[in-house]
C-alpha cells in the first residue's frame, strides 16, 4: 500500500508544522503533498518566529526537512509541494533550487512520475478581492465576481507579461498541462477547490457588493469541469478554510474522482491520510 499525507494552508504556523514533521517522523508515509499557502505573513512572523528569522523556506522548512531526512534515511518520503495565493511568487525560485537537493519536488505546472502514479501540480485560483495576484487567473473567461479584483489590477512580486495576465485562464492552463494524457492513475495537487462542491463553501452569507449578493462558492469552475471530463484518480485542494465546517465534509467525489481538502479554519493541524490503493478509507485528523 502507498501511504500518503496531505496538508494545506499552514500559513507559516510553527505549531502546525511541528506536528506535521512529528507525524512524518513517527508514521513514515511514502508520499507527502503540501497544497500551498505555506508561508507566514508578517503578522504570523511576529507571533511565531523571531523577527530576525526572515528566510522561512531555507531557515525553517528546509532545515527541518533536512533533519527528518537524516533521521529517516531510506524512509524519507517523496514530498510534492506547490505555493498558494497568499505566497509571493518571488519564493518560487527558492523552491525550485531546493528541488535539486531531493528534499521536495516543486510540482506547479509539472507532471512527476512516482511508481505507477503521476503527480500534477497547479497553484492558480480564480480572482479574489485580495491585491496579491501572483497566483490568480481568470477561470473559464475574463469574468470577475462582484467585489473581486481582476488579475491585471493587482500586485505581482515577479515580472509577468500583460498578455499572460489579461488573457490566460485556468481552463486553458489545465488543457496544456495534461494534453491527451491518460489520467487513470493521476493525482492533482491544486490550491483551489472545484466550484460548488463540499470543498468550496466560503463564509460569505449576506455579503452584498453593489446591491448584488456575493457568491458563497469561490472555487474554480474550470477545475470542476476538468474533473468531470478527465476523471483523474484523486484531486487534492485547499484555500477555503471554513468549507469543511460549513458543509460538514472535507471530501467529495465526482464520478470515479475522489477529492480531498486539507484546509481548516481552526487552530489544529488538518492532516489528511490515505492510501492510494484504498481512497475510500481516507481520513482527516485534527491534531
Q: What is the residue extent of each domain of the chain? A: 3-286
CB 2 within 8 A of CB 117: yes
pLDDT at residue 43, rounded to an integer: 44
Residue corresponding to grid cell 484518480: 233
CB 220 within 8 A of CB 125: yes
Q: Give this prediction's pTM.
A: 0.95
pLDDT, mean of each 10-residue run, the chain (287 residues): 98 97 98 97 48 78 97 98 96 96 97 97 97 97 93 95 96 97 98 98 92 93 98 98 98 98 97 98 98
- The residue among 130, 133, 199, 209 whose CA lies nearest residue 165 is 133
pLDDT at residue 100, rounded to an integer: 94
pLDDT at residue 45, rounded to an integer: 39
pLDDT at residue 44, rounded to an integer: 44
pLDDT at residue 210, rounded to an integer: 85
d(CA 226, CA 12): 31
d(CA 201, CA 191): 14
pLDDT at residue 185, rounded to an integer: 98
pLDDT at residue 253, rounded to an integer: 98
List phi, psi (to 5°) of 121: -120, 145
pLDDT at residue 49, rounded to an integer: 44
Domain 3-286: CATH superfamily, name plus number: Metallo-dependent phosphatases (3.60.21.10)
CB 34 within 8 A of CB 80: yes
pLDDT at residue 277, rounded to an integer: 97
Amino acid at each position: 500500500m502507498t501511504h500518503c499525507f496531505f496538508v494545506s494552508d499552514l500559513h507559516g504556523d510553527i505549531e502546525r508544522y511541528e506536528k506535521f514533521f512529528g507525524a512524518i517522523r513517527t508514521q513514515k508515509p511514502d508520499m507527502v503533498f503540501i497544497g500551498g499557502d505555506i508561508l507566514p505573513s508578517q503578522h504570523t512572523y511576529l507571533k511565531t518566529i523571531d523577527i530576525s528569522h526572515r528566510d522561512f523556506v531555507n531557515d525553517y522548512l528546509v532545515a527541518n526537512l533536512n533533519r527528518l531526512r537524516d533521521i529517516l534515511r531510506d524512509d524519507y518520503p517523496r514530498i510534492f509541494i506547490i505555493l498558494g495565493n497568499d505566497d509571493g511568487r518571488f519564493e518560487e525560485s527558492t523552491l525550485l533550487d531546493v528541488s535539486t537537493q531531493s528534499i521536495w519536488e516543486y510540482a506547479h505546472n509539472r507532471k512527476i512520475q512516482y511508481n505507477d502514479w503521476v503527480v500534477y501540480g497547479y497553484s492558480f485560483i480564480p480572482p479574489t478581492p485580495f491585491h496579491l495576484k501572483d497566483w490568480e487567473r481568470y477561470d473559464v473567461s475574463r469574468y470577475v465576481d462582484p467585489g473581486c479584483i481582476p488579475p491585471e489590477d493587482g500586485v505581482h512580486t515577479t515580472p509577468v507579461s500583460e498578455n499572460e495576465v489579461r488573457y490566460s485562464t485556468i481552463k486553458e492552463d489545465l488543457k496544456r498541462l495534461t494534453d491527451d494524457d491518460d489520467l487513470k492513475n493521476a493525482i492533482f495537487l491544486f490550491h483551489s477547490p472545484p466550484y460548488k462542491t463540499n470543498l468550496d463553501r466560503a463564509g460569505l452569507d449576506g455579503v452584498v457588493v453593489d446591491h448584488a449578493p456575493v457568491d458563497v462558492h469561490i472555487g474554480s469552475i474550470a477545475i470542476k469541469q476538468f474533473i468531470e471530463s478527465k476523471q483523474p484518480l484523486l484531486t487534492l485542494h485547499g484555500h477555503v478554510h471554513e468549507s469543511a465546517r460549513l458543509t460538514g465534509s472535507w471530501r467529495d467525489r465526482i464520478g470515479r474522482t475522489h477529492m480531498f481538502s486539507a484546509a481548516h479554519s481552526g487552530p489544529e493541524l488538518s492532516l489528511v491520510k490515505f492510501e492510494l490503493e484504498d481512497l475510500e478509507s481516507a481520513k482527516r485528523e485534527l491534531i
